Structure 1
Amino acid sequence: MEMRQVLCDTMKELMEKHENIIFMDADLAEANGTMPLRKIFKERAFDVGISEQNMASMAGGMSAYGMNPYICTFTAFASRRICDQIAISLAYAKQSVKIIATDAGIAAETNGGTHMSFEDIAVLRSIPGLVIIDVVDEVQLREVLLNTVDYKGVVYIRMPRKEVPRVHGEDYKYDMLKADVLKEGEDVTIFSTGLMTNAALEASKILESKGINAEVISIPTIKPLDEETIIKSLAKTKKAVIIENHNVMGGLYSAIAEVSCRKCPTLMRSLGVLNHVGEVGGMKFLAKKYGMTAEDIARECTELVK
């Protein structure tokens, strides 16, 4: 099932249960699959047009009056375009708003460079009080939406909008404060987030054929970070490769490196986008171009172990 269908279905479920939920789109309801919400909840789901900054400010005002607003647009517009509104109208004002950011990183594909955000986590991670979540698959998306509905504060949820490989089973439970140890190992740790988690698991299979036992840890919540799980793994393997669908500067690699420097200095390598803007292309093409494939991960792990 496509991620946008899960988004719409889960929001419908939440809006039926919580009458204070407001859902706003910025002229992308068709693309993001949320148009049905407008037909069902005519007074609580609406389009603000191509006016993302206004949408964020409206959400802050609605939150101040006891509503529970969700705003939804492409990742590029949900982060860098509304950064000031997030910092002042939402975080500084201590409002409770959920930001749904779709088409994260290379998932933007043929929408091209202007719609492809590799810097959103880096931009927003420095703003106090934000929760930042990078969703892996449809199972996790539903869990994240259900478990953050009552959260008091700003939650930023980045996600692909189309179909992606499923990583988690139906019994998966999301915990905002915990990373997910998907595979235990002792030779090297692969830390992943979001779209790259499936590639991390595939890389671990390649490494097994080479006699290397990799630990794979998925980190859905980049802020606040589960430092305990990270440090425990680093202390065990003493080597780590971090893979992310984001610029390697300011994202997951930077967050883990900060923890490592303070508490457990470790040999570490990063895989992701390095000093490059987005461009037009399918996900497979872009992953290969930016060195984010399972083979790339396995190669870096092998070299690090040697």
Structure 2
Amino acid sequence: MNALQGIDGQLEWSMQPRPVCDVGQIRIRVAAAGLNRADLLQRNGLYPPPPGVTEVLGLECAGVVSEVGAGSRWRVGDRVCALLAGGGMAEEVVVDARHALPVPEGLSLQEAAALPEAYATAWLNLFQLAHLQPGEKVLLHAGASGVGSAAIQLCKAFGSPCWVSVGSHERVAYCEALGAQGGVVRSEDLDGLRDYAPFDVILDPVGASYAELNLKLLGQGGRWVIIGLMGGRKAQLDLAQLLGKRIQMIGSTLRSRDADAKAQLIAELEQQVWPLFAEGRLKPQLERSYPIGAAEEAFAALASNEVQGKLVLVVDDSLS
């Protein structure tokens, strides 16, 4: 099969060994794969896959089941999307059957490819780890990103008002249209977030450069969930604020979690989140699809930090 890898900072679509489908797994003929910032890092040699995971890029995909290992609920021909530790940007991928979800009714496979990573990340960090409750106030840094777009919609659906920090006024408007209460442009008025504070939960993919501000913005018993380090990895903190406000600082990654933890996460998504797509309360925020041959263009677009929502690579547009 053909698959996409990052080699010496360049993308290479080339022939790779076909993975074996074992007990409890399914083989998916890939229609499309979602593009994530982790793929940018891996291509540049900065985020290697966990031990035993393929070097093929891609943390999520959608397609059609073509083979089923023993012990799976899926059938050949089922339309699914899946959360992956790697391997999605290929003609085929084999995945733990528990990590797959049905394509929500009414959505295309390209739209479905943009769902698993964003919604799994948002649900894990807001609801499983931060224990977000209805009525609690949320701050989403990088609110127009794929994860941010999913998080805004989940906050609205489950009754928690949210605000954002983003890169432009256009993005503030985009986030407000999804359900955010408001927000600021980070280059103009990041301190303006104090007007909306105190927050109960902050979802933070930035890290060090926002650390001091986050401590000031959180209220008593606040939860600060760090999911990325776009703003650096080292910061000086006033721990007296951390203690005085009883703030919980939570570091979180999804990719390296074990198979059982991911299975539990996917089961919660299917039960509590997936029905909201059929009801029209959640919508995939797919900004653009690129053919796999234009992968470099897609990666450059994501690296520009000007994307609203998600980008997808189309591997096989004959699938529907």
Q: TM-score, normalised by structure 2?
A: 0.30
Q: Hey, which of these two has a bigger chunk of helix by percent?
A: 1
Q: Hey, which of these two has a bigger chunk of strand by percent?
A: 2
Q: TM-score, normalised by structure 1?
A: 0.31
